[in-house]
């Protein structure tokens, strides 16, 4: 278009107009309008091209996306309303309402909620901490709250996670594919990009600080009220174990990170200590199979004694051998089934006992955690973002409290 309006062309137009004055009046107006139209259309095309290029430049990949530094803890009213309605329906076992607020929800998850909700009296002090997601209208939300259990005075501080989206109708809903339940049992397929974003979200120092704050409050609450401890570690855990066995969910195919053997699935039932999305509370609500094994091995059965007798030992020999074994057991210190550790430096928390396992987050120096034993070079710790509330930290980066 620029070449069209060169000096030679303009001079020719002027000469034509001078020689044909009586004809160029109306024609000139028309030509002018046509030229203006050409310029406007060309400019519009250029603008659209520029906008398209600008739009492509603003697209951010999952790899390059970074969450804003700070949470919005004065969260949007619509998010707060959604969460309040969700918890109310959860406590009331109102599955119809839950299904509208959090979708999809499997029959197994519904049955799970039916089991644990009977022990809930209310969920209070609901405080959302929100960060915008990669796509417009998506939100990553951590929620501090306190669970009031029936017959227990002290409330249990918890930290939940929700991935919230905006529906076609403009209303917010909880994408329940990324609930703690489905991330554990994988009944619905998980999108790799969103899971990568969740990993980024939980790896932030802000999440680590929030988790540490709730974890300390939780442990203080459990330590101050024996009824709360019993509710979490005995009553609720027993109900979850029974549900786990009867539901047959142990046979579900898990994701690569969560794949376990049949024996591990049995252990998972013993470790099943989470209550729906109430991750931090329920993550500490179980006793491990190792505890049960230790208890089971703490004595000898009548059948064992009979076998020893049939092996040619006299009654006196049996007594001597038994006393010697008991003495040896007494001399060997038993590792505590549950103990406290503290981080010696900034540490990575992983979903498995390997540096290749998914990174769940970072913890600062001098963070106290509940530990449940070791697996190779790794220590198993309580961590709400981990599978069944458990995660792994390199043992060399931890120090046992009291040592």
pLDDT at 251: 57
For residue range 267-289, list pLDDT tens digits in order. 444 544 444 344 444 434 333 33
For residue range 339-376, list pLDDT tens digits in order. 888 898 888 988 889 888 888 888 878 888 888 889 89
CB 374 within 8 A of CB 337: no
CA dist 272 and 116 (Å) reads 12
pLDDT of 103 above 90: yes
pLDDT at 29: 45
pLDDT of 25 above 60: no
- Cα torsion at 293, 298, 304, 305 (round to 10°)? 180
CA-wise closest residue to 197 among 169, 168, 165: 165
pLDDT at 356: 84
Give the DSSP H/E element, type plus range, for residue 219.
helix 205-224
Complete domains list, the chain, with CATH: 64-249 (3.10.450.540), 337-398 (2.30.30.40)
Query: How is residue 1 written in tokens?
Result: 């278009």
For residue range 283-328, list pLDDT tens digits in order. 343 333 344 333 434 444 334 443 443 444 444 444 444 444 444 4
Going across the sheet that includes 120-132, the strands are 102-103, 172-175, 156-166, 139-149, 120-132
Residue 159 φ then ψ, to 5°:
-135, 115
| Residue 102 backbone zone (phi > 0: left; psi -120 to 50: alpha; other: beta) | beta
High-pLDDT (> 70) share of the chain, %: 61
| Residue 139 backbone zone (phi > 0: left; psi -120 to 50: alpha; other: beta) | beta
Mean pLDDT of 95-109: 95
pLDDT band at 185 (very low <50, low <70, confident <90, very high): confident
Query: How is residue 68 written in tokens?
Result: 């804003």
pLDDT at 317: 47
Give exposure, 59-92, as e/b (b: 16+ Cβ within 10 Å).
Answer: eeeeeeeebeeebeeebeeebbebbeebbbbbbe
pLDDT at 326: 44
Q: What is the DSSP string of 24-56?
A: HHHHHHHHHHHHHHHHHHHHHHHHHHHHHHHHH
Give the DSSP H/E element, type plus range, for residue 291.
helix 289-296
Least confident of 29-33, 206-210, 246-250: 29-33
For the chain, give the number of residues. Answer: 403
pLDDT band at 329 (very low <50, low <70, confident <90, very high): very low
CA dist 259 and 108 (Å) reads 19
CB 375 within 8 A of CB 354: no
- List beta partners, residue 149: 120
Torsion over CA: 318, 321, 324, 329 (sign): negative
CA-wise closest residue to 284 among 240, 239, 237: 237
CB 399 within 8 A of CB 371: no
pLDDT band at 119 (very low <50, low <70, confident <90, very high): very high
């Amino acid at each position: 278009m620029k070449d069209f309006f060169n000096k030679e062309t303009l001079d020719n137009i002027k000469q034509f107009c001078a020689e044909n004055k009586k004809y160029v009046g109306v024609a000139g107006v028309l030509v002018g309008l046509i030229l203006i139209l050409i310029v406007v259309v060309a400019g519009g095309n250029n603008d659209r091209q520029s906008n398209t290029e600008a739009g492509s430049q603003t697209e951010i990949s999952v790899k390059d996306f970074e969450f804003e530094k700070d949470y919005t803890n004065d969260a949007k009213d619509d998010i707060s309303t959604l969460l309040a309605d969700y918890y109310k329906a959860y406590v009331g076992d109102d599955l119809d309402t839950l299904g509208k607020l959090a979708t999809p929800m499997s029959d197994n998850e519904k049955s799970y909620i039916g089991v644990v909700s009977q022990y809930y009296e209310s969920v209070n002090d609901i405080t959302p901490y929100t960060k915008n997601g990669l796509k417009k209208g998506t939100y990553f939300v951590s929620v501090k709250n306190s669970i009031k259990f029936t017959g227990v005075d002290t409330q249990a501080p918890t930290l939940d996670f929700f991935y919230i989206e905006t529906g076609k109708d403009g209303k917010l809903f909880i994408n329940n594919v990324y609930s703690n339940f489905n991330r554990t049992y994988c009944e619905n397929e998980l999108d790799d990009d969103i899971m990568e974003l969740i990993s980024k979200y939980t790896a932030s120092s802000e999440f680590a600080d929030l988790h540490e704050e709730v974890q300390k409050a939780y442990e203080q609450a459990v330590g101050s009220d024996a009824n709360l401890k019993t509710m979490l570690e005995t009553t609720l855990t027993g109900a979850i174990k029974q549900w786990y066995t009867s539901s047959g969910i142990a046979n579900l195919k898990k994701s690569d990170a969560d794949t376990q053997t049949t024996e591990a699935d049995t252990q998972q039932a013993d470790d099943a200590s989470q209550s729906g999305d109430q991750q931090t509370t329920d993550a500490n609500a179980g006793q491990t199979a190792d505890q049960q094994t230790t208890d089971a091995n703490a004595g000898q059965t009548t059948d064992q004694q009979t076998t020893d007798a049939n092996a040619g030992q006299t009654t006196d020999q049996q007594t001597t051998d038994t006393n010697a074994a008991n003495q040896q057991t007494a001399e060997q210190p038993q590792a505590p089934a549950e103990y406290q550790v503290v981080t010696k430096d900034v540490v990575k928390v992983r979903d498995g006992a390997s540096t290749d396992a998914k990174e769940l987050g970072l913890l600062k120096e001098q963070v106290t955690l509940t530990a449940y034993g070791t697996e190779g070079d790794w220590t198993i710790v309580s961590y709400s973002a981990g599978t069944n509330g458990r995660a792994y930290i390199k043992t060399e980066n931890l120090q046992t409290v009291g040592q």
